[in-house]
Structure 1
Amino acid sequence: MTFDPDPVTTVTFDSYGTLVDVEAVERALADHVAEPEPVSTLWRSRSLAYTYVANHVDAYKPFYDINRDALEYALAAHDVDLDESARETILEQYHDLDVFDDVRDGIERLRDGGYDCYVLSNGNPAMLDSLVEAAEIGDVIEDTISADEISTFKPDSAVYRHAAARTGTPVEETAHVAAGWFDVLGSMHAGNQAVWVDRKGSPWDGFAGDPDLTIETLDELAEALGV
């Protein structure tokens, strides 16, 4: 599909991997684990898998709790035995992730161009509060919208419809920006225009369609919207 800027009035942004770098958790793991990279990779993949499954087996938990369960599994799978205090210290890194350099300026540019900007995330409200504070974007976004508000995770269409209701914007007038392929596809299925943030030059998995727009930085989205 081709990105059409004309109907867009609202932009929603995913959080983890889109605005903040989840790979920063490896530093927290490195203080406790000899080989943090494989543990971190499994932790992230298992966390996402739990959200997918939770939508279908009535096993919803706030995302922070999902992350805790996934961390415990990843550590066990790599035969790492840490006490509860150490696990919680690692988990708390999700409240202090690195912000991508283009985030503040990119969102501010969109806001100044007349677009209402929101964060739409699986993260529960406390996690999103920490993210907004760390990214210093509280003054340039309208609000955060959490999947926790409806106890359903992305990529379920209900999350994007809920965002449309919260923003007062029809889904077709919303551009959703995400680094996660599943989030891009979920937003497309719900009727959003989908913008894929590809910061690493990764190949797109097009088994269920292509993004309306692919960008490397948020400034490229501002350019596509003519601001």
Structure 2
Amino acid sequence: MSFDPTAVDTITVDSYGTLVDPHSVEATLEAHVDEIRPISNLWRSRSIMYTMVGNFVDEYQPFYEMNRDALRFALESHGVDLPSETIDEILSTYHDLDPFEDVRGGLEALTDAGYDVSVLSNGNPEMLESMVESADIEDVIADTISAHEIRTFKPDADIYRHAAARTGTPIESMAHVAGPTFDVRGAMHAGMQGVWINRDNGPWDPSATEPDLIVETFFDLVDDLTR
């Protein structure tokens, strides 16, 4: 790890799995299925897989629609047959996912320390608008940058370069914070410093170069930037 806080001018943060918890969908799933965590896990992993495959085969559709397809697959794989209205009800929970406990205070501390913080996400603009509002972080976020703007998903280097252009920051002067490891790796590959927020003490990918910095919370990132 070789984090250089003096090089950081602008910070981007991932959304799902970083600011808000995708597993908070389980409260809604509970009313309709028995195997809650297996379906939730498969839904999430399949959704990520669809974005990556879409990049390679040039088949783009907005993340919300991909997420619907992933949910349908997860339900069908577990023998669950739900009407379209119920599937849409479950899917809509992505507009109101629970933020992690450190998010509001941690982002506020980052902005107080003088950093512009933008959300950089695979989510389409409508999803990001509702996420920012639901998490109550409108006043501590400078902007939201969506994959929909260039119709390609992480970890394609183009999305991180797009964020650099959108923020007017040289890419080497940016740090990207994410919970999903593939997102950290994508940012580093594109030229950003990669910060892995590892709240559950999970393992880093053994085949990958270590992230520039590992933190448990956004408050830890503030400490590393300002010490």
Matches of 1:113 and 1:42 in 2, distance apart? 39
Identity of counterpart residues, as a percentage? 60
Q: Where does residue 114 of structure 1 map in the other structure?
A: 114
Match of 1:30 in 2: 30
> What is the CA distance between 1:36 and its match in structure 2?
1.2
Counterpart in 2 of 1:55? 55
Secondary structure, counterpart of 1:211 in structure 2: coil
Residue aligned with 1:91, SS: helix
Corresponding position of 1:175: 175
Deviation per CA, 1:150-196: give whole Å up to 9, x if none.
Answer: 00000000000000000001111000000001000000000000000
Q: In structure 2, how many angstroms separate the alpha carbons of the residues matched to 1:40 and 1:137?
A: 26
* TM-score, with structure 2 as normaliser: 0.98
Aligned-pair CA distance for 1:206: 3.1
Structure 1 segments, 4+ long, off by >3 Å, are none
User: Structure 1 residues 60-69 or 104-113, which shifts more?
Assistant: 104-113
Of stretches 205-214 and 86-95 in structure 1, the one that deviates more from structure 2 is: 205-214
What secondary structure, in the 3-state scheme, does the structure 1 residue paired with 2:4 have? coil
Q: CA deviation at 1:105?
A: 1.0
Map of 1:41 onto structure 2: 41
**1:44-193, aligned counterparts within 5 Å?**
44-193=44-193
Tell me how large the CA RMSD over aligned residues is.
0.8
Match of 1:203 in 2: 203
Letter in 2 for 1:102: D
CA–CA distance in structure 2, aligned partners of residues 37 and 103 of structure 1: 24
- Looking at structure 2, the residues matched to 198 and 220 of structure 1 have their Cα atoms a distance apart, in angstroms, of 11
Question: Helix, strand or coil: the match of 2:202?
Answer: coil
C-alpha displacement of 1:63: 0.4
SS at match of 1:144: strand
* 2:25 counterpart letter in structure 1: V
The answer for unaligned runs of 5 or more in structure 2 is none
Distance in structure 2 (CA, Å) of the matches to 1:156 and 1:208: 16
Distance in 2, Cα, partners of 1:112 & 1:60: 38
**CA displacement, residues 46-78 of structure 1 (integer Å, 9 cap, x when unaligned):** 000000000011111100000000001111111
